[in-house]
A and B are shown apart, each in its own frame.
Chain A
Amino acid sequence: MRTKNVTFKSPWLPYLLVAPQLLITAVFFLWPASQAIYQSVLRQDAFGLRTEFVGLANFRRLFADPLYFDAFVTTVVFSALVTGISMLAALVLAIMADRVLRGALAYRTLLIWPYAVAPAVAGVLWWFLFNPTIGLVAYALDVLGYEWNHFVDGTDAMALIVIAAAWRQVSYNFLFFLAGLQAIPRSLIEAAAIDGAGPLRRFLTIQLPLLSPTVFFLMVVNVVYAFFETFGIVHATTRGGPGNDTVILVYKVWRDAFEGLNLGASAAQSVVLMVIVIALTAIQFRFIERRVEY
């Protein structure tokens, strides 16, 4: 790793400077992470009096647990929907905003602020709009002949948390798509226009291929968001219900630890999640390296 060519010298100052950051990292990140790994191979009896080493038994039980498998499937479906919907909507809006000459800034302002709304608050807003008895959207659906009820219908509940999670994320994706589109040299597009390519053709043959690094980057970021940052939406609205239809992995870790008080199982789930995060981050870094060459 590079430093500056010009550096300062001091036997103790650099250690003093990195100490606060390292101390917090060690106490609140490294130690708990190692504890999670350690606890995942232990089993505690019901009273917390005795713990014994059980090897990989917690993991074996976890993977054999149909509830865990269901939560996994739910999370994958949820992430795929949130990522797909929010990216598609953002791409359409970004293409439109990129075409606008006057008022572009005003449109950007109108489109980016939902990013500031916390996931939990977004969840509560849509929870209200879709409320089967008083919600306006539920009423409109009723007029159209669809009886919406997220308290009993798992699909409705899933749709609700997908909408709440995607609504907020569109802003984020929009900003990155817009930045990506505006980085494409105008001359390329003008040359294509002179050669007689229409807007759609120009988009498909020039803009989309040049945007592909952004698309890939956003896909990873959105999957990470849907996997790990949407706890608030589920917890503030459906609470995993009806039944277990909206239990995502992060929600299950929390519930098993704080409501089920099952330490070993929760720790094993934490370790699985850590592996997922590290894999996703590794993908992201590979991609960044490649983009630098590009």
Chain B
Amino acid sequence: MIERRPLLSLITHGTLVLGAAIFAFPIWLAFVASTHTGREVNRGLSLLPGDRMWENYATVLGDGLSTAGAPPIGLMLFNSTVMALAIALGKIAISLLSTFAIVYFRFPFRVLAFWTIFITLMLPVEVRILPTFEVVADLGLLNSYAGLSIPLIASATATFLFRQFFMTVPDELAEAARIDGAGPMRFFRDILLPLSRTNLAALFVILFIYGWNQYLWPLLVTTDEGYYTVVMGIQRMANSGDQLPQWHLIMATAILAMLPPVAVIVAMQRLFVKGLVETEK
């Protein structure tokens, strides 16, 4: 702030508090709904939590919504975790290796390899739904963790970010390693990898959230309820056909579905901001 303007400061804080309140409002009501009985929620309108929190959360975690044909949320949360971790770690691993090759070696077709990877940035799953589904079906990967994660782990974003970072690593390091007789993989493991630690962590935060929040892909490749992810499974409850939706349980599920990624963002805020602002540039 440049000059003292008490009124403007008041407006500033007022707007920010109001903004934060509007952001939190749906979550608060979802939480409130998840702590009442179904009948209380359907009667409507409560702004304070009820006393049914443990029962409701125990129900969705353990039993699921049998009426909506959904499996226990505990299982779905596990599936989401597996998928998000596999996607985040897989993307980082294969991008690190391929970028290392592209930056530190000169070989025929190097430029072609880079552009082939880069094209993937242009084609989100949404625009090539059916053919990708057919490939996965032909490979027998429907209803499997491999089918949920492998098709999504090619990453132009990570490759791009690592390339930018590797280009800033001083050449002297590679030279010194070579003079000391270290081979390329030794250099990669002992020097490049430790240097990339912060970038790896920042990217991991972004990619974990990306993987956790996938919706269309799990919807396509899973028909077996045992492989449902929680973000995708929640729509099965909200659209339960003729029956009145069991809002108290749906909202408990929604809270559980958003808890892990929100916790990751809040706990690793600095890394998240760094990862987001740098990958998008």
A residues touching B (Cβ–Cβ < 8 Å)? 1-10, 13-15, 17-18, 20-22, 24-33, 35-36, 39, 89, 92-93, 96-97, 99-101, 107-122, 124-129, 131, 133-136, 139, 167, 170-172, 175-176, 179, 189-190, 193, 199, 202, 217, 221, 228-229, 231-232, 235-237, 239, 250, 253-254, 257-258, 263, 266-267, 270, 273-274, 277-278, 281, 288
Which of the 9-residue segments B49-57, B117-125, B196-204 touches chain A?
B117-125
Q: Are B131 and A231 in contact, CB atoms less than 8 angstroms apart?
A: no
**CB distance A113 to B105 under 8 Å?**
no
- 20 pairs from A and B in contact (CB 8 Å cutoff): A3-B104, A13-B101, A13-B184, A18-B98, A18-B101, A26-B116, A31-B131, A36-B130, A93-B15, A93-B16, A101-B1, A118-B231, A120-B215, A128-B247, A134-B45, A167-B26, A231-B216, A239-B239, A263-B130, A281-B121
20 additional A-B pairs beyond A24-B94, A28-B150, A96-B19, beta carbons within 8 Å, are: A2-B167, A3-B103, A7-B106, A8-B184, A15-B107, A17-B101, A18-B102, A28-B135, A35-B131, A96-B12, A109-B266, A128-B247, A128-B251, A134-B45, A135-B44, A171-B23, A176-B277, A236-B239, A270-B128, A277-B123
Given A14-B105, A120-B215, A273-B126, answer yes or no on A232-B33 (Cβ-Cβ < 8 Å). Answer: no
Q: B273 on the interface (CB 8 Å rule)?
A: yes
Contacts A100-B16, A120-B232, A128-B250 known; A18 to B97 CB distance under 8 Å? yes
A193-B16 contact in complex given A116-B262, A125-B30, A228-B127, C-beta closer than 8 Å: no
The listed residue (A29, A35, A179) touching B119 by CB distance below 8 A is: A29
List chain A residues, Cβ under 8 A from B106.
3, 7
Contact of A96 with B16 in the complex, beta carbons under 8 Å: yes
Alpha-carbon distance between A134 and B24 when the two chains are bound, in angstroms? 19
In the complex the two chains form, is A175's CB within 8 Å of B276's CB?
yes
Interface string of B138-179 (1 = CB under 8 A from A): 000000000000110110000100000011000100110010
A131 to B20, CA, bound (A): 23
With a CB–CB cut-off of 8 A, which chain B residues contact A257?
129-130
Q: Which of A93, A110, A129 contacts B24 (CB 8 A)?
A: A110
CB-CB under 8 A from A32, the residues of chain B are: 128, 131-132, 134-135
Query: Which residues of B lie under 8 Å from residue A10 when comparing CB positions?
Result: 105, 184
User: CA A252 – CA B215 in complex, angstroms?
Assistant: 16
**Distance in angstroms between the alpha carbons of A135 and B29 in the assembled complex:** 10
- With A28-B151, A93-B19, A124-B238 already in contact, the answer to whether A267 and B130 are too (CB < 8 A) is yes
Q: Tell me if A189 and B258 are in contact (CB < 8 A).
A: no
Question: What separation, in Å, do the CA atoms of A124 and B127 have in the docked complex?
Answer: 24
A residues near B215, Cβ cutoff 8 Å: 118-120, 231-232, 235-236
The residues of A that contact B102 with a CB separation of less than 8 Å are 3, 14, 18
Tell me, rounded to whole Å, the shortest Cβ–Cβ distance linking A213 to chain B: 11
Q: Which of B19, B134, B257 contacts A89 (CB 8 A)?
A: B19
* Secondary structure type dominating chain A contacts: helix
CA distance A113 to B128 in the complex (A): 30
Specify which of A21, A107, A172, A176 is in contact with B95 (CB 8 Å cutoff).
Answer: A21
User: Chain B nearest CB: distance from A291 CB in Å?
Assistant: 9
CA distance A19 to B127 in the complex (A): 25
Main secondary structure of the interface of B (DSSP, over half): helix
A284 to B215, CA, bound (A): 25
Contacts across chains A and B counted by CB atoms under 8 Å: 307
Partner pick for B273 among A1, A107, A175, CB 8 A cutoff: A175
Across the interface, which residues of A come within 8 angstroms of B132, CB to CB? Answer: 28, 32
Task: Tell me the bound Cα distance from A18 to B110 in angstroms.
Answer: 9
Contact B171 A121 (CB under 8 A): no
B116-A22 in contact (CB<8A): yes
B26, A126: Cβ atoms under 8 Å? yes
Chain B residue contacts of A267, Cβ below 8 A? 130-131
The verdict on A28 contacting B154 (CB below 8 Å), with A18-B97, A33-B131, A274-B127 known, is yes
Q: Are B235 and A20 in contact (CB under 8 A)?
A: no
- Closest CB in chain A relative to B109 CB, distance in Å: 9
